[in-house]
Amino acid sequence: MSLHVNGQPQRLAAESDTPLLWALREELKLSGTKFGCGAGLCGACTVHVDGQAVRSCLMPVQGVAGRRVVTIEGLSPDRGHALQRAWIAHQVPQCGYCQSGMLMAAAALLSQTPQPSDADIDAAITNLCRCGTYPRVRAAIHTAAQ
Ligand code: FES
């Protein structure tokens, strides 16, 4: 199975029905993408596939053959993405577990809607955060959009 992950060509040995999440974490050792629910509900496992936010726990690796996958490790080479800077400025994370998925969902939103309204953010960011960081997530997205 061939695909591109964070700009690098990769060949996966995983079975074709292996969730992308586990191929990324176990085979490619990209542990920034997190396992939360395993059922497509929480968004902790969000990555980009051809620029779209995808919940990797539900995506079999055969579904990404030949496609471009970006994980939190590939969002920016120097952690200098506007969202990452805004996340730090607003001190968004609390425990931090869900935040890589939040950032990937936010990055996909800004790539499609560069100046999102609160309603746009609420509609696009359906990721769950047990620490309740939602107000800071929203504020940081607005800062990054400036
Ligand atoms: Fe994929 Fe929760 S682990 S949506």
* Residue-level pLDDT at 25: 98
* Structural contact between residues 3 and 59, judged by C-beta atoms closer than 8 angstroms: no
* Residue-level pLDDT at 42: 98
* Residue-level pLDDT at 1: 86
Alpha carbon of 31 to ligand 1 centroid (Å): 14
Task: Please give the CATH number for the structural domain made up of 2-74.
Answer: 3.10.20.30
Alpha carbon of 81 to ligand 1 centroid (Å): 24
**Percent of the chain's residues with pLDDT above 70:** 100
Section 83-98 average pLDDT? 98
Question: pTM of the prediction?
Answer: 0.96
pLDDT band at 77 (very low <50, low <70, confident <90, very high): confident
Atom of ligand 1 nearest to the CA of 42: 2
Q: Environment class of residue 27 by beta-carbon count within 10 Å: exposed (0-12), middle (13-18) or buried (19+)?
A: middle
pLDDT band at 142 (very low <50, low <70, confident <90, very high): very high
Burial code of 104-134, b = ≥16 C-beta within 10 A, e = fewer? bbbbbbbeeeeebeeebbeebbebbbeeebb
Domain with CATH 1.10.150.120 in the chain: 82-145
- For residue 81, what are the CA distances in angstroms to 76, 110, 140? 6, 12, 12
Phi, psi of 66 (to 5 degrees): 75, 5
Section 1-28 average pLDDT? 96
The pocket around ligand 1, CB under 6 angstroms, is made up of: 35-38, 40-45, 55, 57
Domain with CATH 3.10.20.30 in the chain: 2-74
Distance of CA 104 to the CA centre of its chain: 3
Q: State the amino acid at position 58 in one-letter form.
A: L
Q: Give the CA angle between residues 135, 120, 52 to the nearest 5°.
A: 105
Alpha carbon of 143 to ligand 1 centroid (Å): 27
Assigned superfamily of 82-145: [2Fe-2S]-binding domain (1.10.150.120)
* Structural contact between residues 44 and 37, judged by C-beta atoms closer than 8 angstroms: yes
